[in-house]
Amino acid sequence: MKAKLIFSTETKETEQWVDMPFIPRINEWVNIVDILKKEEIVSMYQSARCWSGNHGTVQSIEYRYDDIQFYVEVNIWCED
């Protein structure tokens, strides 16, 4: 399923569109290293106060419609 992932820290948000074979649940960990490029991870790491740089926690999941199809919007918190 088409998904819009929003990675958030205290000072920055990054969006990434991916095709996910499953939808994660709230409070699950997501392995960020498998999704983002190395330079994107470094940028997120620098904007976070305390983050390992490896995983994020799913904070919210919303189903949306963009005039063509449904997609999932997943907000992932990247702080430990």
Q: What is the pLDDT of residues 2-12, one digit of tens each?
A: 899 999 988 88
Rounded CA gap, 37 and 1, in Å? 21
Domain count, the chain: 1
User: Two tokens at 57?
Assistant: 């926690």
- Enter the pTM of the model: 0.87
Phi, psi of 45 (to 5 degrees): -60, -40
Q: What is the pLDDT of residues 5-51, one digit of tens each?
A: 999 988 889 899 998 888 889 999 999 888 888 988 888 888 888 88
Domain that holds residue 63: 2-77
User: Which of these, 9, 1, 2, lies nearest to 56 by C-alpha position?
Assistant: 9
Q: CB 48: neighbour CB atoms within 10 A?
A: 20
